[in-house]
Amino acid sequence: MVVRRRIEVGGVVQGVGFRPFVFNLAKSLGLSGFVRNDGRGVCIEVQGGETAVRGFLDAVRRDAPPLSRITVVESFEVAPVADENIFLIEHSSPADGNVTPVSPDMDVCDDCLREMFDPADRRHRYPFINCTNCGPRYTIVKKTPYDRPFTSMSEFAMCPACEKEYHDPENRRFHAQPNACPVCGPSLSLYDARWHRTETDDIIKDVSRMLREGGIAAIKGVGGYHLACDALNAEAVERLRQRKIRKEKPFALMAASVADAREIAHVGAAEEGILTSREKPIVLLRKKTEVAGIAPGLDEYGLFLPYAPLHHLLFADGAPRLLVATSGNISDEPIVFEEAELKERMGGIADCHLTHNRPIVWRCDDSVVRVFDARGISTVRRSRGYVPSMIPATSKFPEILACGGDLKNVFCLTKGDAVIPGPHVGDLMNAEAFRAFKGSIEHFKSVFRISPKIAAVDMHPAYVSSNYGRSLGLPVVEVQHHHAHVASVMAENGLEGDVIGVALDGTGYGADGTTWGGEFLTCSHASFRRAGHFPALRLPGGDKAAKEPWRVAVAVLHEVYGDDFFNLPQAGEIGVERAERVVSMLKAGVNCPASTGAGRWFDAVSSILGVSHFNEYEGRSPMLLESVADRGVGGALEFSVGADGAVSFDAMIRKIVELRGKGEGVPKIAALFHNTIAKIVFDLCARTGAEAGLRDVCLGGGVFQNKTLLAKAAGLLERGGFRVYLPKNLPINDGGIALGQAVVAATRHAAGRI
């Protein structure tokens, strides 16, 4: 009996070889019908024997192409078509209001690499080789459906050989939108330090040689420019630091292979799996040997493997096996992705500029992840390789723009069952970053055809991101910062109802108008209640205190010891004169706002122990404190909790000062401090859980990027019978709060509160 079924497939199914897969599958089973891209994903109709049609449907679910990500398959019977005997690939139909997912950019596949290094292949040494299983996607797309006219490849007319591949359903490059070859596709250009074009017989060989000789190269990649140099050439690394205005912040490294990575870092099975994954993120790896100037004072490197064909060619032509490959930007600005922008903003940094004429539609920085115990990876920065993958939604969303925060900014757009976090923008501290923020939002709105009807923002009155959302003329939902952290973790884990939320970060605007940051909450999607918090400490100089932890240390020690503080060795280490100025500010109450920020306590203890008095980059002092901590030390220091859930650290600070005065090693004291914070997390969760009858705990906030603290706190909670939830796809830092903002806004909208 002949049957016909209409099959609608949603998810990442465009630009990943899904239509040729369907075509060849139908052909092998003797089925007729058609397949086409549409506004939702892929629409299929198949006709034939009942057994063959059933086998076709099973294979679609089971054997889909490697880059596809199927989220839904809906199938229903339709009337057979008389005298149909072929299967066709039809032209894409226009978007119909649904959100069409777009594949992230992926590394070059093994098949393309084999061709690229085959002297007999017509794409031998072609740095833009790709197929339906690999290559750029998000960074070249202008709008959906994902067809060549809607990408930055539209300006390259395919030669007859490429045309033939492109239109052959049995070819690996069927409808590979970036398809090209040396005859018809993009090409490389090389410029010297002053942007004079360099004529050369082999650009890649010349750049490889220059890197070996200690030069600095700006290299245009998939989502922007890298600044590269020989990682083992200390002079070149220092020169790059000076030119990039990056005094101590760690550099990312690109290793030619896993074996090269193992020369300097510990790479376990889990780490190797992520390093070699199709996403090719930067992976944080524990140091094995110290490479001068790469990550001063830290115990980890950020390291990734080559993912673009050009990277592989550089290593094949003799580039150093370990390269610094840091984002092409001046410190704290967004990554550069256009040649004109590179000339304007980064003149004088690189000794040469290796660029190309395949336009990047929008910037996309490298992602950063680390392995966190058996739970898998913990995302630090979500961008290339992961963006614009959607977050699974458990309910329908209105069209929302969630603006995120001002630090580690990531926005989020929603519509229906589409929840799409944007790429990492960074800190909105300057005009370039704010322009990048607005441009990224407009790009996403265009690609996904979303017109926000609601703006969800942080409730901070002065956040740049929040004021942008307020300026759009849309209904605005203001969401408390730490509620957003917890709501984001709840959403990623499909949690409904109430949970215990622990949000530890540096700063967030509190519901009472003060600065929060060490928060214990009971939360639902709609609302929260503050159940406890870290002690409020005063920040002499306001925002300056976040950059100069010694100021916080003075405030903490003076609070505990009064003027006897000046008799402590810490006063001498910090400098009595400047400590006196800060104490005067404290006594006068001038520019000393109070904060419960957990991050500031890590700053203070780092300074008290003499580990770091300055944050040359965000989080430096806490990161150095974690790096020196002896992970084998057990036990915790004393603290107390008031009836209102407010913690007191006075006893802990006295003990830290006492231990250091007795000559106890800093690694042990740093470990005891970490253990104490973990114990506080457990004790306050136990207290809150007993009062509210809750056993689910969601952990969020940038302080939990501290792997030592997170492991200890999660371990205590789980051994105490709590179910612990962490983000699955998004960063635990402020890069995840836009999702929480969207969830809170959608919940209030559904309840008629907007």
CATH of the domain at 633: 3.30.420.40
Statement to judge: residues 476 and 542 lie in one domain: no
Query: Is residue 252 in some structural domain?
Result: yes
- DSSP structural state of residue 374: G
Does pLDDT of 375 surpass 90?
no
| Structural domain containing residue 437 | 390-492+729-754
Statement to judge: residues 708 and 735 lie in one domain: no
Write down the pLDDT at residue 637. 97
Write down the pLDDT at residue 71. 86
Statement to judge: residues 645 and 752 lie in one domain: no
> How far apart, in Å, are the Cα atoms of 20 and each of 15, 36, 174, 279, 283?
10, 10, 7, 23, 34
pLDDT band for 274, please (50, 70, 90 cuts).
Answer: very high
**169 preceded by a cis bond (ω within 30 of 0):** no
- DSSP structural state of residue 389: P
Pair 238, 262: CB distance under 8 Å:
no
Residue 154 pairs in a beta bridge with none
Question: 225, 221, 229, 138: which is closest to 186 by C-alpha?
Answer: 221
- Maximum distance among all Cα pairs of the chain, rounded to whole angstroms: 97
Which helix or strand (DSSP H or E) is residue 251 part of? none
pLDDT band for 95, please (50, 70, 90 cuts).
Answer: low
- Look over the chain and give the mean of its residue pLDDT values, rounded to a whole number: 95
Write down the pLDDT at residue 658. 97
Does pLDDT of 562 surpass 80?
yes
Tell me the mean pLDDT in the region 124-152. 93
Write down the pLDDT at residue 94. 63
Identify the residue whose tokens are 């600065």. 515
**pTM of the predicted protein model:** 0.93
Which helix or strand (DSSP H or E) is residue 717 part of? helix 707-719
Write down the pLDDT at residue 684. 98
Statement to judge: residues 333 and 453 lie in one domain: no
Tell me the mean pLDDT in the region 209-220. 98
Query: Is residue 160 in some structural domain?
Result: no
CATH of the domain at 228: 3.90.870.10
Write down the pLDDT at residue 537. 94
> How far apart, in Å, are the Cα atoms of 224 and each of 78, 140, 354, 421, 683?
47, 12, 12, 19, 46
Tell me the mean pLDDT in the region 544-553. 96
Query: Is residue 159 in some structural domain?
Result: no
Q: Would you call 703 helix, strand, or coil by DSSP?
A: helix
Query: Is residue 527 in some structural domain?
Result: no
664's CB contacts (< 8 A; 6+ apart) are none
Query: Is residue 157 in some structural domain?
Result: no
Distance CA 730, CA 28 (A): 40
Statement to judge: residues 667 and 575 lie in one domain: yes
Number of structural domains found in the chain: 4
Write down the pLDDT at residue 91. 81
Distance CA 640, CA 577 (A): 33
Per-residue tokens: 501: 């939320």
499's CB contacts (< 8 A; 6+ apart) are 486, 490, 522, 523, 524, 694, 696, 697, 698, 725
Statement to judge: residues 579 and 700 lie in one domain: yes
Does pLDDT of 127 surpass 70?
yes
Statement to judge: residues 309 and 409 lie in one domain: no
Write down the pLDDT at residue 96. 61
Statement to judge: residues 691 and 751 lie in one domain: no
Residue 72 pairs in a beta bridge with 10
Statement to judge: residues 326 and 314 lie in one domain: yes
pLDDT digits (tens, 9 = 90+) for 12-70: 888 788 988 999 999 999 999 999 988 778 999 999 999 999 999 999 999 999 888 89
How far apart are the two ends of the chain, measured CA to CA in Å?
54
Statement to judge: residues 660 and 737 lie in one domain: no
pLDDT band for 226, please (50, 70, 90 cuts).
Answer: very high
Does pLDDT of 374 surpass 70?
no
In 197-341, at which residue ranges do the beta strands (DSSP E only) sit? 217-220, 225-230, 252-255, 282-286, 300-304, 322-327
Per-residue tokens: 494: 């499909």
Domain termination residue (choose one: 333, 356, 379): 356
Statement to judge: residues 256 and 278 lie in one domain: yes
Query: Is residue 254 in some structural domain?
Result: yes
Write down the pLDDT at residue 699. 98
Distance CA 574, CA 456 (A): 42
Total H helices, total E strands in the chain: 23, 29
Q: Which of the two residues, 330 and 551, has the higher pLDDT score?
A: 551
pLDDT digits (tens, 9 = 90+) for 191-201: 999 999 998 99
Pair 477, 454: CB distance under 8 Å:
yes
Query: Is residue 154 in some structural domain?
Result: no
Does pLDDT of 348 surpass 70?
yes
Write down the pLDDT at residue 72. 87
Distance CA 432, CA 439 (A): 10
pLDDT band for 443, please (50, 70, 90 cuts).
Answer: very high
Query: Is residue 611 in some structural domain?
Result: yes
Pair 246, 331: CB distance under 8 Å:
yes
CATH of the domain at 404: 3.30.420.360
CATH of the domain at 85: 3.30.70.100
CB atoms within 10 A of CB 729: 16
SS (H, E, C) 621-650: HHHHHHHHCCCCCCCCCCCEECCCCEEECH
Statement to judge: residues 607 and 713 lie in one domain: yes
pLDDT band for 660, please (50, 70, 90 cuts).
Answer: very high
Distance CA 590, CA 612 (A): 25
| 291, 295, 299, 305 alpha-carbon torsion, rounded to 10° | -70
Domain termination residue (choose one: 42, 65, 89): 89
Question: 523, 383, 525: which is closest to 456 by C-alpha?
Answer: 525
Pair 735, 701: CB distance under 8 Å:
no
Does pLDDT of 93 surpass 80?
no
Write down the pLDDT at residue 192. 95
Q: Would you call 173 helix, strand, or coil by DSSP?
A: coil
